Amino acid sequence: MKKVVIGMSGGVDSSVAAIILKNQGYDVIGLFMRNWDSSINNDILGNPDLNNDICPQEQDYNDALEVCKKIGIPLHRVDFVKEYWDYVFTYFLDELKKGRTPNPDIMCNKYIKFDMFVKKALELGADYIATGHYARIKDHKLLRGIDNNKDQTYFLSQLSKKQLSNVLFPVGDLEKSEVRKIALENDLITAKKKDSTGICFIGERNFTNFLKNYLPNQPGKIVNIETNEVIGDHIGLMYYTIGQRKGLNIGGSTDKIFVVGKNIKENILYVAYSSNNEYLISTECIVDTINWISDTKPTKCTAKFRYRQKDVDVELEYLTDGNIKVKYDGVKSVTPGQACVFYLGEECLGGGIINEVRKNGKKLWYL
């Protein structure tokens, strides 16, 4: 009997994935990862639930433990707090300092869930590892999950072919509604549990309150890019991303405005009014930190510049420095620091990190 070690998050997806694996005849072992030290950080993160008897991370563990007991598999617990800080959280802070919009979940998959986790799983005698990601593997190719609204290949785009070689994605062939149904049929505590959203170590906390404990605020001016007029003050460039409309707190204006750029050197946040969104449009970007999962390296394919975005037709120009120039018809809010992920039909080919954004060859005011 083949042994599978599955990452149990305390959510419904990994819970149902464990049931599926057990029903398929695998010897299933659960493994819960502790990646953030809530006992140390809760007090400084502005957590509104400090008076609760148990923090959300411990509740997730308890839920995972109850699910494992219910379906009759063991649950182990492993501590990756230091590794998460070194490889994911430090990266997150460094990117913010540069004025970029990072995606730490992608790095968590690369360095924690499909690296440190795998090493621990091998210690437990695993033949395979499994997670509750909505993705599929077929003929050594990474394919989108059946549920287009939940497909998570975007977050797996920095994994290597080797990292994916012994991975199972049991819920990748299911719609989310089917996953919920299976959980209800098996009377799991996670059946109606709300999906986690946002960055895992922030959770439901206020993003601004969270960050100011790690990076000092550097307030500056908000400038209308169309008139070069100062129209307000920002609380720090790291709190804003391209295309953002909410939280700008510009008094005296009833028109909707949005962020179109940042000038790190002069600490200026550029905005424009909603009547003119041309400032958000770009036609090409430079992508670095390239990772290929597929052996196919096309000159034409589709891409996503952020999670849940519809596929965009792109042309790829392979540069001599190893980076890729990605060309496309006008697309809004392509943002440095975010992942650019390449697809051919259902296959996720790999991707990289957006480094520079241009419009008709001219670099935009994005950094």
Catalytic residues, by residue number, are 108, 200
Q: How far apart are the first and last CA of the chain?
A: 54
Q: How many CB atoms lie within 10 A of CB 34?
A: 16
Give the separation between CA 190 and CA 183, rounded to whole angstroms: 7
SS3 86: helix
Name the token pair of 361. Answer: 């060859």
Give the separation between CA 121 and CA 185, rounded to whole angstroms: 29
Give the separation between CA 304 and CA 344, rounded to whole angstroms: 12
Bridge partners of residue 326, in order along the sequence: 285, 316
Name the token pair of 48. Answer: 């509104």
Amino acid at 122: L
Give the separation between CA 139 and CA 83, rounded to whole angstroms: 32
Give the separation between CA 55 and CA 47, rounded to whole angstroms: 9
Give the separation between CA 171 and CA 16, rounded to whole angstroms: 7
Query: Residues 273, 277, 278, 283: is their CA dihedral positive or negative?
Result: positive
